[in-house]
Structure 1
Amino acid sequence: MGLLELSAAREKHEEFCVPMIMVPATVSNNVPGSDFSIGADTALNTITDTCDRIKQSASGTKRRVFIKTMGGYCGYLANMGIAAGADAAYIFEEPFDFEDLQSNVEHLTEKIKTTIHRGLVLRKKEIQSSLLASGNVSQDSSGYLDLGIGGAPSPFDRNFGTKISARAMEWITAKLKEAQGRGKTLTTDDPVCVLGISKRNVIFQPVAELKNQMDFEHRIPKERWWLKLRPLMKILAKYKASYNV
């Protein structure tokens, strides 16, 4: 939104006719034009490590634990609880009803009767259901944890941040040299870009093209690649489910 406002102001203020590029850096991983944002991997590592510790404690006491993750309206962190061995993840992008909740509760009840004496459910702070938003589930569960994000950056985030920032500075330098060669400043038509990673490729995409891919009200891209992984969670948690995207 900031880049769109700055680029629109170029016609009135030539001071804004300078190279503009955004490097995505947010744990929410909700920037269009990039599969990953700097910080998202660190947050996911923190969540997974915390869940592993909680599962060890919960197994000995037959507890059901609900963990609330960060990320705004974007359910990336909660959905990727696949890595943490979660039994379910409630996210904004996928509304659910009482039948869904009942199915999860029945699954957890049967699971605790086996050799796996614990249940783990992740949820986003912003979800499309009054069932969890009202706090009913947290009152009935054996444990409830509001998980903040912290810790040292993961090796992936450190390397990704360094490489993508270096590429951004190369782009800015090239734009300035082009302007010097023309003997004038940049024009209002020069692109304002987001530098992201998509399918292992580092790509520059103009924000004018990306704005149609964004749900500005909820601050999430309209298409999210990780939603295709949703069916895998139930399969790995041993629900009676098949892989249908």
Structure 2
Amino acid sequence: TIRDLQNLSKRLKDKLEFSGVNYGLILRNENANDNLTTDFMRRLLNEEGHPTFKSRSAILGYTQEGCLTSPHDRCSGIKNGCRSTAWIILTMKTCGTKQNVKVFADRPETITVTTTKRGRVEFTPVEQLAKETDFVNCVPINQWWMKLRSLLNILSWSTDELSEHARSVKFDNAMSSLDSF
């Protein structure tokens, strides 16, 4: 809401003036709200933050759609291509027979998507991913990072706000979220 943006602007202003922090970052999904657009938020923050700070916006979606690739992207692509090729060869050997050339890849684990889980590249069966995916909203059903939201709010508060809210329910919820790791 606009009130949330105004509160955010006040917190940013306080941090920039008194804590030595010299930047802030706001991440926004392009489908979050039709009225509170990225440009509107940038202009509102510029207005509310004047003269303490100015805001800029960068929309990263075009990079994901195939613009210029970085050396890291190219290296990752080569590594994933090699892993995928090795996996296909291994799967063909385990599914095929020595007498004939046909390969029967009729098990669920032979139809996979390359995923990264806990820093490791895995080949996850599509059948398993279908059970873990909310297809209406195009997100995972279990969004583990949402447990950190309360903690993130606490960490973004100014010192005064933190002392007021340190014993609140949100703090208790944030700490219990950490226990689940």
Please report the TM-score for the alignment, with normalisation by the length of structure 1. 0.46
Q: 1:153 aligns with which of 53, 65, 71?
A: 71
Q: Deviations over 1:195-238 (max 9, x none)?
A: 32323444322101211222334432222344344345444444
Where relative contact order (Cα < 8 A, 6+ residues apart) is larger, the structure is 1
Q: 1:158 to 1:206 in 2, by over 3 A?
A: same
| Backbone CA RMSD of aligned residues | 3.4
The 1:210–1:144 alpha-carbon spacing in structure 2 relative to 1, beyond 3 Å, is same
Q: Which has the larger Rg?
A: 2
The residue identity in structure 2 corresponding to 1:101 is: L
CA shift for structure 1 position 194: 1.6
Of residues 140, 149, 174, the one that matches 1:230 is 149
Instruction: Provide the C-alpha distance between the structure 2 equivalents of 1:223 and 1:127, rounded to a whole number of angstroms.
Output: 20
Give the distance between the partners of 1:152 and 1:98, measured in 2 at CA.
36
The offset of 1:152, in angstroms, is: 2.0
Pairing partner for 2:124 from 205, 212, 217: 205
Q: Does the aligned pair in 2 maintain the 1:195–1:204 contact within 8 Å?
A: yes
* Count of aligned positions: 147
- The structural deviation recorded for 1:160 is 4.6
1:147 is displaced (CA, Å) by 3.4
Aligned counterpart, 1:126: 30
> Which region of structure 1 is more displaced relative to structure 2, 109-118 or 214-223?
109-118
Alpha carbons of structure 1 residues 166 and 135: separation in structure 2 relative to 1, 3 Å:
closer
Q: Is the 8 A contact 1:194 1:205 kept in 2?
A: yes
The one-letter code of the counterpart of 1:104 is L
The 5 A counterparts of 1:11-160 are: 97-114=1-18, 116=20, 120-130=24-34, 132-133=36-37, 135-142=39-46, 143-148=55-60, 149=63, 152-154=70-72, 160=76
Q: Is the 8 A contact 1:213 1:222 kept in 2?
A: yes
**Is the alpha carbon distance of 1:158 and 1:232 closer, same or farther for their aligned partners in structure 2, counting shifts above 3 Å?**
farther
* Equivalent in the alignment of 1:175: 91
Moved over 6 A (4+): none
Distance 1:182 1:106, change over 3 A: farther
Q: Deviations over 1:79-129 (max 9, x none)?
A: xxxxxxxxxxxxxxxxxx444333312212323432647552423242433
Where in structure 2 are there 5+ consecutive unaligned residues?
A: 47-54
Q: Which amino acid aligns with 1:113?
A: E
The one-letter code of the counterpart of 2:17 is K
Letter of the structure 2 residue corresponding to residue 179 of structure 1: G
Structure 2 length as normaliser, TM-score? 0.59
Contact kept? 1:194, 1:207, Cα under 8 Å? yes
Q: Kindly tell me: are residues 106 and 141 of structure 1, through their superposed partners in 2, closer, same or farther at Cα, counting changes over 3 Å?
A: closer
CA distance in 2, matches of 1:207, 1:189: 13
What's the CA shift for 1:134?
A: 8.0
Write 1 or 2 for the structure with the bigger share of strand.
1
Change (3 A) 1:161 1:111: same
Q: CA deviation at 1:188?
A: 6.2
Aligned residue in 1 for 2:52:
none
Contact kept in structure 1, 2:9 and 2:45, CA below 8 Å: no
Q: State the distance in 2 between where 1:218 and 1:105 align.
A: 29
Percent identity between the two aligned chains: 24
